[in-house]
Structure 1
Amino acid sequence: MYKFSGLDKDTGHQARGKKGVLLMNLGTPDEPTTPSVRRYLAEFLSDPRVVEIPRLVWLTILHGIILRTRPAKSAALYKEIWTENGSPLMDISKRQQAKLQAQLDEQGIDAKVYLAMRYGNPSTASTLQQMHKEGVDEITVLPLYPQYAGPTSGTVFDAIARELMKWRFVPSINFINTYHDNQDYIDALAESIEQDFAMHGKPKKLVMSYHGMPKRNHLLGDPYYCFCAKTTRLVVEKLGLTEDDYVMTFQSRFGKAEWLGPYTDATIEQLGNTGVDDIAVICPAFSADCLETLEEIKGENREVFEEAGGKQFRYIEALNDHPSHIKMMLGLVEPYLK
């Protein structure tokens, strides 16, 4: 019989068995410059889940037209929202990471919180490799997209799977794919709206603006629209609003295809034109403020509303690192860590 001999007693496995939480968000350019934005957009818009157009056709359009013109325009917009701490999305995400870690420590839960971006830095692959080096064998992944969609949470799964396919030892994975109807999430949204109403008064219309998606995705089975509708219904019920008090819309459409509607900018313009001159806008699909909320909603859509005759426009900020948001994150990951 073959006998093992001379086997190194310290294989490194003794130091493993740790648990980690991986927070993931979309990403951001490293700098508000044209080259940095071009790199970011090239990675983002090359994802086949993000743009479902025949590959060769789309890559020709992307590299032949879009990446030649859009990066400079987007860089100018990023400069408008950039802070002394850098990208708002990155700054907020780091605060979320730190505060969730503090909550785990306070609860006596032995787990480390990591942060990665689906596009840009810190990359999914490099963060997973760091977790592996630090002995993490059980990973709880929390994509910070409340409503599951293929181009968001789905592509997070893709990126993780692509990296783990290269590993000899695959860790245990807990993947939280959606939390659109999580009670703590609904309560946090309702609380932020109530605080705004208490401070500024109830507006004539609450606009709940979600990130857009091509209508084709919905028809092919993506549940995103239904999840957005359920989030809206639960928040409205929590606040006791009537159908006349709010409207659900979709923003950030791209290209010429039909997207989920009604469109946020067109709705806001119509409200202004019809005498609804006092509105508040909240973006429940965004866990952290970013270009789409700070520039598109707080900037562009405010101008659309005012030019249409609107007088009072206010944006209710994302949940960001608010204590109720961190509490929700803790509630989502805690069952996998004890």
Structure 2
Amino acid sequence: MLDSKTPDGTAMFTSDRAVCPAHAPADHPRIPPQKVGVLLANLGTPDGYDYWSMRRYLNEFLSDRRVIDYSPWLWQPLLQLVILTKRPFTSGANYKTIWNHAKGESPLATITKDQTAKIAETMKARHGDDVMVDYCMRYGNPSTASKVRRMIQEGCQKILFFPLYPQYAGATSATANDEFFRSLRSEKWQPAVRTVPAYFDDPAYIEALAQSVERTWEAMDDKPDLLVTSYHGVPQRYLTEGDPYHCQCQKTTRLLKERLGWADDQIITTFQSLFGPEEWLRPYTVEEVARQAKAGKKKIAVIAPAFSADCIETLEEINEEIRESFEEAGGEQFTYISCLNDDDAHIAALTKVIDENLKGWLD
């Protein structure tokens, strides 16, 4: 039901439950009942692995000043004339190896939809129609702006925005929040909003990680010699400039080790996805797994605690490139532990974080 439109013809409210406010004249636009929106946000995904889909996605991603903060006068010519001429081919080929061909989408899109559906089911059981749960992507589709607009159309006068990054980084959490607030600039009736902080040390999140490791260990007759926690890297410079990401990653690993009851030498922290000429956070995963193999650690497992869902960096980079580096250095047994994805313990942890951040709005 489309009740009222903005000057450009866009529907303001679409809810079937929209009613005319009490004491208002009969011709007053109908307004849906108030509800609270929970908008999950992940990094993003290309629409396809063909050249132009990849180019659009990479252009949006690599043009973000939170991701690449070099001067546009220097960066954009290099990006447009060199990087985006070649990289869409190689990135597209990598995406093709992991693509969900049955659904015509990337694994990240599939998993984020599954996570959203499970969280929505839980919230509906607790709050009925008073809470609306949806998801968006920082880059690509569905865009943040489109989902903010839809929530407002559905009567969400309060929105909790949840970047699905356990550890905070300017290049992930901050840019997701930036895009969310930019989306609000075009809304005539802005909702009240909150953003969810990083949950890198939340006990339920640590418990979900620990359970995933324990399940892997229990299923193996020949246990790994070492657990490698591989986090997405950022330039070393970001740490000295005040970004807390490195410290939060280290704390996640420490808390996981303590929960598992392991010794210090059974688990290490590394960083992957190096890009550009700068020094990034070390040790680099691709180099460290090879060093460990040469040092006698022939059986390792790798987990990626910074990713809430499996994606190109885990399914292709870790499970293919990093695995290859380990095996070429003499490693014999490489085990990748999947991201938490839509595992029940993970959904419970995310729902707990949501409930804590909704306090006062639903009480």
Q: TM-score range by the shorter chain?
A: over 0.9
1:268–1:171 CA distance, 2 compared to 1 (3 A) = same
Partner of 1:107: 126
What does 1:157-236 correspond to in 2, within 5 Å? 157-200=177-220, 201-236=222-257
Q: State the 1:119 CA deviation.
A: 0.1
Partner of 2:85: 68
**2:208 is aligned with what amino acid?**
A
Which protein has greater RCO, CA pairs closer than 8 Å, 6+ apart? 1
Runs of 5+ in structure 2 lacking a partner? 1-23
Q: State the 1:147 CA deviation.
A: 0.2
Q: 1:330 aligns with which of 341, 344, 351?
A: 351
Q: State the 1:228 CA deviation.
A: 0.5
Please give the TM-score of this superposition, normalised by the length of structure 2: 0.89
**1:209 is aligned with what amino acid?**
S
Partner of 2:98: 81
**Residues 306-331 of structure 1: CA deviation (Å, up to 9, x unaligned):** 11100000000000000001101111
**1:275 is aligned with what amino acid?**
G
Q: State the 1:107 CA deviation.
A: 2.0
Q: State the 1:153 CA deviation.
A: 0.6
Q: 2:301 aligns with which of 280, 295, 315?
A: 280
Give the secondary-structure state (helix, strand or coil) at the position aligned to 1:128: helix
Q: State the 1:17 CA deviation.
A: 2.0
**Residues 100-154 of structure 1: CA deviation (Å, up to 9, x unaligned):** 0111122234211111000000000111111111111111111100001111010
Give, in whole Å, the separation in 2 of the partners of 1:182 and 1:245.
22
Contact 1:147 1:285 in 2 (8 A): yes
Q: 2:147 aligns with which of 119, 127, 131?
A: 127
Give, in whole Å, the separation in 1 of the partners of 2:169 and 2:212.
24
Partner of 1:21: 38
Contact 1:16 1:137 in 2 (8 A): no
Contact 1:249 1:263 in 2 (8 A): yes
Give, in whole Å, the separation in 1 of the partners of 2:30 and 2:174.
31
Please give the TM-score of this superposition, normalised by the length of structure 1: 0.95
Contact 1:124 1:159 in 2 (8 A): yes
1:62–1:203 CA distance, 2 compared to 1 (3 A) = same
Aligned length: 332
Contact 2:31 2:155 in 1 (8 A): no
Give the secondary-structure state (helix, strand or coil) at the position aligned to 1:15: coil
**Residues 249-297 of structure 1: CA deviation (Å, up to 9, x unaligned):** 0000101100001000000111111221100000000000000000000
Runs of 5+ in structure 1 lacking a partner? 1-6
Q: State the 1:246 CA deviation.
A: 1.1
- Does residue 98 (structure 1) correspond to residue 117 (structure 2)? The answer is yes
Give the secondary-structure state (helix, strand or coil) at the position aligned to 1:145: coil
Q: State the 1:13 CA deviation.
A: 6.6
Contact 2:36 2:159 in 1 (8 A): yes
Give the secondary-structure state (helix, strand or coil) at the position aligned to 1:108: helix
**1:92 is aligned with what amino acid?**
I
Give the secondary-structure state (helix, strand or coil) at the position aligned to 2:186: coil
Two-structure CA RMSD over aligned residues (Å): 1.3
Give the secondary-structure state (helix, strand or coil) at the position aligned to 1:174: strand
Q: 2:169 aligns with which of 127, 135, 149?
A: 149
Q: Which moved more, 1:9-18 or 1:187-196?
A: 9-18
Partner of 2:265: 244
Contact 2:163 2:177 in 1 (8 A): no
Give, in whole Å, the separation in 2 of the partners of 1:226 and 1:27.
25
Q: State the 1:168 CA deviation.
A: 2.7
1:14–1:257 CA distance, 2 compared to 1 (3 A) = same
Partner of 1:36: 53
**Residues 221-247 of structure 1: CA deviation (Å, up to 9, x unaligned):** 000001111111111100011111011
Partner of 2:160: 140
Give, in whole Å, the separation in 1 of the partners of 2:247 and 2:33.
41
Q: State the 1:169 CA deviation.
A: 2.3
Give, in whole Å, the separation in 2 of the partners of 1:305 and 1:10.
70
**Residues 199-233 of structure 1: CA deviation (Å, up to 9, x unaligned):** 11531110000000001111100000011111111
Q: Which moved more, 1:195-204 or 1:40-49?
A: 195-204
Give, in whole Å, the separation in 1 of the partners of 2:254 and 2:27.
56
Q: State the 1:9 CA deviation.
A: 4.8
Q: State the 1:166 CA deviation.
A: 2.0
**2:240 is aligned with what amino acid?**
L
Q: 2:328 aligns with which of 272, 282, 307?
A: 307
**2:79 is aligned with what amino acid?**
L
